Chain A
């Protein structure tokens, strides 16, 4: 077929070539380059993330408006803003981790394993490490814990370090040894699940043979963060 009428084939191919050239020309005219799906995905993700943030900002604006109304009504009623300020100090003390808190939550008791070593087994497998406690706390924070303490020392994500220190663990520059008692205030069901659910870190630790016990409690007391200090390097930005 091709041998008999090469002109026809060439004609068709040339038509296709023509289309391609026109397309290429049009694309070049818009000034855009080839767009990969990866770029499209990145953009979609960014928009998605920004939308979440904008929603949060809107909520924040609403709360600020409420606060201004509070201030103004306080000035109208009492002539000063003392009561509102005291309330604000309480709120910020609470959410920045400085105040001691109480509420329902869970108590986790966590110590080294008591089982015998298997042949040639590394003794590290049976010990509590800083990373284990760190991971347990991450799971608790993700589950919405509002306040966490380890052996009576408040743990807050923006200041607390949990570091291995030989046979002890250093938390907020204080040394602690086992048994470790982790207390967390929050929704008891969620917090318990954050440790016990399969695939959570606590569940895996239990499989290793470490001793880990979770109890719920309707009333816990958690101290405030004590390492409150003046800042050496950080300065507030003037508006």
Chain B
């Protein structure tokens, strides 16, 4: 009888612990992913929210395009009867093209970077987000191979673009980006491809670490302009 009582106590104790663990698990899942609803409803909610933000983005992009055409028209009107202004407009376009403030297209390559395909290998340590230094090296290799324009997940690399890890995201131009990363570069496609796929090059380094790397050559790569404001607070133009 005594032994039996002890067993019951033990089982009771284990049950309490089990209950606690289950409730913690439920709370964590609810707090981090579901926010008070079941997975199905939550995912439907999220899909709708995603559609909304994408719709908003499309509208904003359209508005930006309209405004830019309007600016273009004003410029064209003014330059049609004035050679000086025409010269200035051409200069402005060249600077914009160089700085990454125009949509461009041309031959080049597209690199897809993603976490290891086998999910069980994706631990906190093996995550492409933490390899910002390697992504920086990749950009450097592209520049060395003569890339004329580069973007990561449609975020154009410009003269002050930073690439760094913040929390669980890769921040580029202050916008958090998540894998898979699609890196596009315009330039001589064979040179760019060769520079990345060189033996012991950056692509093989990343592959050896387990990441998914795919380099595709293409005759028509489209890279979007930088859609943001650049504000310099410290630097001033040096007057000669």
Contact call A56/B44, Cβ cutoff below 8 A: no
Q: Can you name the residue of chain B whose Cβ is closest to the Cβ of A39?
A: B43
Contact call B95/A60, Cβ cutoff below 8 A: no
A63 → chain B, closest Cβ, in Å?
A: 5
Interface residues of B in 139-170 (CB under 8 A from A): 139-141, 143-144, 148-150, 156-164, 168-169
The answer, yes or no, to whether B131 is at the interface (CB within 8 Å) is no
A233 → chain B, closest Cβ, in Å?
A: 4
Supposing A44-B46, A67-B71 touch, asked if A92 and B234 sit within 8 A by C-beta, the answer is no
The answer, yes or no, to whether A30 is at the interface (CB within 8 Å) is yes
Q: Can you name the residue of chain B whose Cβ is closest to the Cβ of A51?
A: B53
The answer, yes or no, to whether A42 is at the interface (CB within 8 Å) is yes
Contact call B74/A72, Cβ cutoff below 8 A: yes
Interface residues of A in 38-58 (CB under 8 A from B): 38-54, 56-58
Contact call A47/B53, Cβ cutoff below 8 A: yes
Number of B residues near A (Cβ < 8 Å) is 96
Give Cα A102 to B240, complex, Å. 11
Contact call B136/A63, Cβ cutoff below 8 A: no
The answer, yes or no, to whether A237 is at the interface (CB within 8 Å) is yes
The answer, yes or no, to whether B6 is at the interface (CB within 8 Å) is no
Give Cα A114 to B174, complex, Å. 39
Contact call B175/A185, Cβ cutoff below 8 A: no
Contact call A141/B236, Cβ cutoff below 8 A: no
Contact call B63/A61, Cβ cutoff below 8 A: yes
Can you list 23 residue pairs at the A/B interface with Cβ under 8 Å?
Answer: A27-B40, A30-B40, A32-B40, A35-B40, A52-B176, A53-B57, A56-B229, A85-B88, A95-B160, A101-B232, A103-B234, A135-B133, A138-B132, A144-B160, A145-B160, A146-B233, A157-B158, A161-B140, A186-B235, A222-B235, A232-B148, A234-B149, A237-B102
11 new A-B contacts, CB < 8 A, other than A53-B175, A59-B228, A92-B95, are A49-B177, A80-B85, A82-B88, A134-B136, A138-B162, A138-B163, A157-B161, A232-B148, A233-B106, A236-B93, A239-B65
- Please provide the 7 A-B residue pairs with the shortest distance between their CB atoms, ordered closest to farther: A96-B99, A161-B144, A97-B159, A92-B95, A57-B60, A100-B238, A64-B67
